[in-house]
Amino acid sequence: MSDDSSNPYVSPSTEAFREHDDAGDMPLETRESIDYFGSITEFFDHPEWVNGLLMASLTVLIPFIGAFAVLGYEYDCVAQRLAGRGQRPYSLFTFDRFGEYLMRALWVMLYGLCASLLIIPVMLVCFLIFSVLASSKNEVLAVIGIVIAGAIYLGTILFMNIAMLPGMFRVAMTNDIGQGFDFAFIRDFISKMWFEQILVLLFVAFSSGIMINLGYLLCCIGALPAVVISWFSMSHLLMQMYQVYLSRGGMKIQIVP
């Protein structure tokens, strides 16, 4: 219904939709499975996707902070949608909220830096094993050591990515770095979604690699739009994982749009 009582057939304004006080209490949309390719194609569902892509791509060129602002914008689109606010299928990038986008991304980056410190001891152990066995005169022993150290390193990287995804998403949705260390939520999310997390990481790695390389083939001009679409895909895959997680009885996040 319209906000204007004189014309009940006019659609409600976006601002009225944004300012709905009960939006945060609306039932969250859930889903049973993840639409991997839909996370990419949904970007083109917006009638003004060309303008949005151009604006975001140019923003990435801003030194130091441009990329963070665009990444924060992608998370903001997800937060708006989960909170039942914003435009559909997503809100376009606007410089009016540049600072908000930037802060949302910076909290995620700081959380990632803090969490990644945990991997340093493992890297040192792997390097020590590699150094000791590589210096051995026994070639078989050296090869075994390299394989073991490499397996430990790759396994740790995979584990850290799986462990950090729930926390990073929680920080991005709440704008609170402390929320990323809710270990009860992280354990519950991983226990219910570990397989989907692996599939999402693999899909993002391959799809973003293909899109960015195709962008480089276009005289490098298409690389920036490819990065923007890749980030959009990743953020929306995280949203879909959260929706599937909720359908499996997961813990609800208090979204801060």
pLDDT digits (tens, 9 = 90+) for 121-175: 877 877 777 777 767 677 777 777 778 777 877 888 888 889 899 999 999 999 9
* Residue 73: band (very low, low, confident or very high) from pLDDT cuts 50, 70, 90: very high
Is-above-0.85 flag for pTM? Answer: no
**Domain spans of the chain, in order of start:** 27-104+167-247
Residues 199, 209 contacting (CB under 8 angstroms) = no
- Nearest residue to 147 via CA among 161, 158, 133, 160: 133
Q: How many CA atoms lie within 13 A of 40 on its CB side?
A: 14
Tokens 């194609």 identify what position?
41
CA distance 213 to 20: 42
CB atoms inside a 10 Å sphere around CB 109: 15
CB 89 within 8 A of CB 45: yes
Q: Where on the phi/psi map is residue 65: left (φ > 0), alpha (ψ -120 to 50), or beta?
A: alpha
Angle separating helix axes 139-174 and 98-116, nearest 10 degrees? 150
DSSP-derived secondary structure letter, 12:
P
Confidence of residue 85 (pLDDT cuts 50, 70, 90): confident
- Specify the pLDDT at position 147: 81
